[in-house]
Structure 1
Amino acid sequence: MRTKFRSLAGVAAITALGLALGGTPASAETLREALTRAYGSNPTLTGDRARQRAEDENVVIQRARSLPSANAQANYTENVVLPPNAITAPERSISLQGQIEVPIYQGGSVRNGLRAADRRVDAGRSVLRGTESSVFSSVVAAYMDVIRDEAIVQLNQANVGVLDVNLQATNDRFEVGDLTRTDVAQSEARLAIARSQLQSAESRLIASRERYIQVVGTPPGTLEAPPPLPNLPASPDSAVETALADNPDLLAAQQRREAARYDVGVANATRLPRLSAVTNGQYQNYLGTFGTNVPGVSIAQTQKSATLGLQATIPIYQGGGPSAQVRQAQAREGQAIEGQIEIERSVISQTRSAYASWQAANEVITSSQTAVSANRLSLEGVRAENSVGTRTILDILNAEQELLNSQVQLVTARRDAYVAGFTLLAAMGQAEARDLGLDGGALYDPVTNYKRVRHIIWDWDSDPKPEPVATRTVDTPAQNPSVTPLPKQ
């Protein structure tokens, strides 16, 4: 049984993949809430659901070819110029004609067309699964980007504050002759660089928040650290094994291959006989204008006729068209076969790469945590040694920069590990709504629409006029880089 994402929401401890730098407010926004909003209102996902509903209709269209068809034709005729030698010359007439045709045998084209349409419906459902995974991966990346960039802005703000204090202290010591102008210049330069780094970090934060709005539909609030990811594999081989069985893109390719095989049968039917039962009825009324020049002779003003029979069409020669259609369908089946192998290769590569990225990011987390601890201790030592004259201001500045770099690297590695882990789950086919236990109502089921439309045979049926499902973001405010400052150490 798959571990549900919802069961992890109550985890209080921040795991190795958590990114929070401090406590989380009670009103913080969770990753599941962001995923739920995107599930209901992301236009990529809602648009793909509409595409799948359109795909469902191809089954109805194919089945319609096997059902009876009926049509009627009406004509009204005015004879404005009558032939002078005509014995009977009606001035006007109305004619009605109806025909019913019942297909009996069409060479297997309907049967194979229906099977192909059904396989493409299955492929479309797998594509929809892949779209869910892709959208959720984008949401997770955007969510983690905001958390990362907020943390980096906080770290840079804190660094600017420290360097500002350092510059003031350096100026004070310069005034009393304890330091040189060079020390002051070094402090000023490092502070200027720190401020430019802060501005760059703030720009990246704004971009991340705007990207979050794009994929989720609402501005990010205070984002809670995400829960640990479930069901991550123990090895790349086990990840690939799961991906080959569950990856939606690969399943869609397999189903498209099956559909292409049935298309060959449809093409073969173009050179086989077709048989239908046909009935015709005709009614004509001359509206009392059908007369004769022979005295004492009257002519009926209406005519009726009806026929019932079988109509067989036996192709004899069609200029090579059917064989070309068969070869074309076979070539497309070959293309689908090769396409399946191509996607299989891609899935294997993506899965192994995601696994490697996830493992590497976890290793970077461990190394960065060690580096942060060591750099923090080093900075304290350099400051103490500077106070007794064995270290320079430049040594302090370098130590502070190394600490900042290691902190940024740690925050980035935590983001990369979580995103890589979710990407790995997506490649394995385990990053969809059914796997994540999303709240907010029943999940969208594409089978419901398929069952609804499959047996509709009424020509005048239609759905309500389409209305937007996705939310627009035109009214969302432009984002800014404001963050809660880190507590002073």
Structure 2
Amino acid sequence: MIRGLLIAGVALVPLAAPAGAETLREALLRAYESNPQITGQRAAQRALDEDVPIRRADGKPSADAQGQLQEFLVIPGNQFATAPRQLFGQAQVGVPLYQGGAVRNSVRAAETRVEAGRAQLRGTEANLFTNVVAAYMDVIRDDAVVALNRQNVRVLEVNAGASRDRFEVGDLTRTDVAQSEARLAIARAQLQQAEAQLIASREDYINFVGTPAGRLQDPPPLPNLPSTPEQAVAVAIEDNPALQAAMAERNARRFDTGVARAGRLPRVGASIGGSYSSFLGSVPSGGFTQNSATAATAGLNMSLPIFQGGRPAAQVRQAQARESQAIENVTLQERNAVSQTRSALAIYRGSVEVIGSSEVAVNANKLALEGVRAENGVGTRTVLEVLNAEQELLNSQVTLVTARRDAYVAGFALLAAMGNAEARDLGLGGGALYDPTVNYRRVRGKIWDFGGDPTPVAVATGTATTPAQGAEVSRSLDPLLDSGVDRRPGLTTGNDAPDRR
């Protein structure tokens, strides 16, 4: 299968990481174990499992008993046969023999909805992992952006100080100083925005993972993604969780229509019962009066609906309309799967191209900045040109880290749309993975009326006690992004500088 080609041997195993660095696999595992979105969906699936024994119970024998003890405080004068007290007990067992297919279809509908719920659980898992990956990459991106902006502020602080010094000796004009100070003020504002965004990204990380982001390691490589949209769509049509859930719900609606049709068919059942009554010695024995009596009955019963005011036909039409809605929803989910798959692949490819172009741009802008600084030192370039070159380098560096984030998130979203981004695909260890079939097998055949599960307790962890996040930088910059601060003094001073002539 294509799925095997995409996933085989490509679990999220971390690359070599510095001591104490947190990996993407660890973040995914924490979310898998303690995020309320997925733990709640597991509980919803367990509730869905119970629909099967509930529907099966409608076709199983039922037994009931009733008893009555009466004490007549006042006996009417015209009822000489009435005893002062009476005990009555009765037990009956009923067995449904034929119910027009209602039980069979309702059980099949419940079983099919269990399959739909499992697909929805898969979708919840994939969506959660996609959010975790996005939050993880957002922190890495924003961490780098803050570091770049702080580096830029330091550069501009040096430039502004040098401009003031050179103005004092007459090498630059007040305009040059004003331009340096204005660019520094803008850089400080951009830094504040970047720090706020980093804090927000770290809080989002806590929301999905449950713990603060530490020093995050670079994510592992993504598996070999499909090379064409057609290949990606073929896998998505086969494995997309939302599409599979919609198809299962469509099948369940067909069984619902069968249940509705059973409302106008005859029903047959069998029953056996017994009763016991006693006057508890309150009447004299003998003659025609006995103090106690027993009876037993057995028989068949049948009900044939003849006219119900149009209710059965309306229920059938209603079920057919809902079946039609489910059929259309399959088409909707298919469209969504195709759109998500193609869009994610396009974004991934585009981001990869941007990464390549941005790396070239960063290297070129570094070289250009060095040249402009040197030329400014000999008076052939203005301060404004230096400032512009520094800003262009910063912009290309931010574009690079953003493209890296976008490419990874889009690639993972592509795996999710194809149904290949769940715990079993990613090789998450740390214990047994959650298996929804275990609970289903446990409850499906239960017929005992007395029972239940332990009192529910919270599985997910809260985040109220986590500390508020800050904007401290926890990662060192990639050498490609690092650009040292130019602290060299100007090569010329005074009125002989070319930009002063």
Q: TM-score, normalised by structure 2?
A: 0.92
Residue 367 (structure 1) aligned with residue 357 (structure 2): yes
Could you tell me which residue of structure 2 aligns to residue 117 of structure 1?
110
SS at match of 2:344: helix
Per the TM alignment, residue 85 of structure 1 is displaced from its structure 2 partner at its CA by 1.9
Mapped contact 1:4–1:436 kept (Cα < 8 A)? no
Which of 296, 300, 306 is the aligned partner of 1:310?
Answer: 300
Q: CA deviation at 1:26?
A: 2.4
For residues 131-146 of structure 1, the aligned pairs below 5 Å read 131-146=124-139
- The amino acid across from 2:113 in the alignment is R
1:9 aligns with 2:2: no
Deviation, structure 1 residue 262? 0.9
1:429 and 2:419 are equivalent in the alignment? yes
For 2:242, the equivalent position in structure 1 comes to 249
CA deviation after TM superposition for structure 1 residue 5, in Å = 6.7
Query: Cα deviation per residue 1:239-298 (whole Å; 9 max; x = unaligned)?
Result: 111100110110111111111111111111111111111112212222222359xxx747
**Corresponding residue number in structure 2 for 1:326:** 316
Q: Counterparts in 2 of 1:182-197, with a 5 A limit?
A: 182-197=175-190
Where has structure 1 moved over 6 Å in runs of 4 or more? none
Equivalences for residues 73-472 of structure 1 within 5 A: 73-291=66-284, 297=287, 299-472=289-462
Map 1:57-72; keep pairs closer than 5 Å: 57-72=50-65
In structure 2, what is the Cα distance between the partners aligned to 1:5 and 1:50? 31
In 1, Cα distance between equivalents of 2:12 and 2:314: 58
Alpha-carbon distance in 2 for matches of 1:456, 1:244: 36
Offset of residue 488 of structure 1: 7.2
Q: Displacement, 1:449?
A: 0.6
Instruction: State whether residues 5 and 437 of structure 1, in contact with CA within 8 Å, keep that contact through their aligned partners in structure 2.
Output: no
Per-residue CA deviation, residues 100-138 of structure 1 (Å, 9 max, x unaligned), is: 101111111111111111110000000000000000000
SS at 1:83 equivalent: coil
Do the aligned residues in 1 keep the contact of 2:14 with 2:24 (CA within 8 Å)? no
The Cα shift of 1:77 comes to 1.9
Query: Helix, strand or coil for the counterpart of 1:132?
Result: helix
C-alpha separation in 1, matches of 2:371 and 2:305: 95
SS in 1 for 2:170: coil
Could you tell me the percent identity over the aligned residues?
61
- Give the secondary-structure state (helix, strand or coil) at the position aligned to 1:215: helix
- Aligned equivalents of 1:244 and 1:6: distance in 2? 22
Letter in 1 for 2:279: Y
Output the CA distance in 2 between the equivalents of 1:163 and 1:447. 61
Aligned position for 2:493: none
Structure 2 spans left out of the alignment, 5+ residues: 485-501
Q: Is 1:31 paired with 2:24? A: yes
Matched with 1:20 is none
Aligned equivalents of 2:296 and 2:78: distance in 1? 31
Q: By how many angstroms is 1:6 displaced?
A: 5.9
Contact preservation (8 Å) 2:143, 2:473: yes
Q: TM-score, normalised by structure 1?
A: 0.94
Preserved CA contact (<8 Å) 1:34 1:216: yes
Give the whole-Å Cα distance in 1 for the aligned partners of 2:135 and 2:9. Answer: 18
Q: Which moved more, 1:479-488 or 1:360-369?
A: 479-488
- State the alpha-carbon separation in 2 of the partners of residues 418 and 279 from structure 1: 68
- CA separation of 1:346/1:7 partners in 2, compared to 1, >3 Å: closer, same or farther? closer
Cα distance in 2 for residues equivalent to 1:169 and 1:106: 93
Contact 1:4/1:437 (CA < 8 Å) preserved in 2?
A: no
SS of 1:60 mapped into structure 2: helix
Distance 1:6 1:243 in 2: 19
- Once the two structures are TM-superposed, the CA of residue 376 in structure 1 deviates from its matched residue by 0.8
Once structures 1 and 2 are overlaid, which stretch shifts more, 307-316 or 406-415?
307-316
Alpha-carbon offset, residue 208 of structure 1: 0.4
Displacement of 1:375 in angstroms is 0.9
Q: Which amino acid aligns with 1:49?
A: R
Query: Structure 1 residue 183: deviation in Å?
Result: 1.1
In structure 2, give the amino acid aligned to 1:9.
V
Distance 1:447 1:231, change over 3 A: farther
> What is the number of equivalent residue pairs in this alignment?
475
Per-residue CA deviation, residues 304-358 of structure 1 (Å, 9 max, x unaligned), is 2110111111122222111111111111111111111111111111111111111
SS in 2 for 1:221: coil
What is the root-mean-square deviation of aligned Cα atoms in Å?
Answer: 1.5
Q: What is the CA distance between 1:373 and its match in structure 2?
A: 1.0
Runs of 5+ unmatched residues, structure 1: 13-23
Which whole-Å CA distance do the structure 2 matches of 1:5 and 1:26 have between them?
Answer: 25
Deviation at 1:224, TM superposition (A): 0.4
Structure-2 separation of matches of 1:418 and 1:64: 50
The residue matched to 2:50 in structure 1 has which SS? helix
Tell me how far apart the structure 2 counterparts of residues 380 and 371 of structure 1 sit (CA, whole Å): 14
Q: Aligned partners of 1:148 and 1:7: how far apart in 2?
A: 23
CA positional deviation for 1:179: 0.9
